[in-house]
């Protein structure tokens, strides 16, 4: 396991909610917690690497590998689900002594961000939901393929083509890296247990109650790629309609990887949105 010592995916280590957690902690200022998506072989670093430098130039950015993903623990017999992921995320805030943070959630991480804001309202200042799950919708063929991944280079290469509008962003080298990440000991066993067939249950299991979503008081930025084949654009349109203080930004010529396909624009948009709160009521 020499890659553990050299991989940029490995950051700091802390025990959060009883889980040894790998996380990145960059910058200073108002804290923001970045919650990654649920693709096979994913990690916080793989998900957010393109925007970490910009976002951390103005604030403290914390990006963990959620339980079961990346280089955080995958305890034997762990029951993965919205409840356990919320517990892990809030446990990380407790371990880092952070009473309140901004939350940025990508896809699966967006569903988690919504649930944290609903269940622990005092812990969340502003919300950013990007290509977010968290509502009930009909399982897309692309998401079914992502959650049903069985390790092979060909499967990873084909699957990654589903994420990006610009196929030029998906190289054989990138697919090989993600494929190798999915082969690390215990990774596939944990992943296969998270969203088993029928995978519509996985979509529904990540959904929060719409009345509770509509009761959120957080200023919320909803972001989506117009050509997203994994999470339908209609999901973000509904979220923006439900959340009273929501604003919506749709990137054209963009798939499910907004933070990669439009990294500079995404980072500027998020930074400006969070800076509004920094100016009016800075968090320490």
Which positions are catalytic? 107, 228, 256
**HSE-CB for 259 with a 13 A CA cutoff:** 29
Task: List CB contacts of 162: < 8 A, sequence separation 6 or more.
Answer: 142, 145, 146, 229, 230, 255, 256
d(CA 222, CA 225) in angstroms, rounded, equals 11
Which pairs with CB-CB distance under 8 Å and at least 24 residues apart come from 73-77?
73/19, 73/20, 73/21, 74/186, 74/187, 74/189, 74/190, 75/19
Q: Are strands 60-64 and 101-106 parallel, antiparallel or unpaired?
A: unpaired
Q: How far is CA 172 from CA 175, 241, 259, 260, in A?
A: 5, 39, 20, 17
């Amino acid at each position: 396991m020499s890659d553990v010592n050299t991989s940029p995916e490995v950051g700091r280590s802390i025990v959060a909610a009883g889980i040894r957690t790998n996380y990145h902690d960059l910058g200073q200022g108002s804290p923001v917690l970045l919650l990654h998506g649920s693709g096979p072989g994913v990690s916080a670093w793989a998900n957010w690497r393109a925007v970490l430098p910009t976002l951390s130039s103005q604030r403290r950015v914390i990006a963990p590998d959620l339980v079961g993903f990346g280089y955080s623990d995958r305890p034997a017999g762990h029951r993965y689900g919205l409840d356990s992921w919320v517990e892990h995320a809030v446990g990380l805030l407790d371990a880092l002594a952070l009473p309140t943070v901004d939350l940025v959630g990508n896809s699966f991480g967006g569903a988690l961000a919504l649930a944290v804001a609903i269940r622990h309202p005092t812990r969340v200042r502003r919300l950013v939901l990007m290509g977010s799950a968290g509502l009930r919708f009909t399982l897309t063929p692309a998401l079914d393929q992502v959650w049903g991944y069985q390790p092979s280079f060909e499967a990873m290469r084909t699957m990654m083509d589903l994420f990006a509008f610009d196929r030029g962003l998906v190289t054989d080298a990138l697919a090989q890296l993600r494929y190798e990440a999915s082969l690390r000991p215990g990774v596939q066993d944990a992943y296969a247990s998270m969203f088993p067939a029928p995978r519509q249950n996985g979509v529904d299991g990540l959904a929060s109650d719409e009345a509770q979503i509509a009761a959120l008081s957080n200023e919320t930025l909803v972001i989506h790629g117009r050509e997203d084949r994994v999470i339908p654009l209609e999901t973000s349109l509904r979220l923006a309609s439900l959340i009273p203080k929501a604003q919506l930004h749709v990137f054209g010529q963009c798939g499910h990887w907004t933070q990669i396909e439009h990294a500079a624009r995404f980072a500027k948009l998020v930074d400006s949105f969070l800076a509004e709160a920094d100016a009016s009521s800075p968090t320490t």
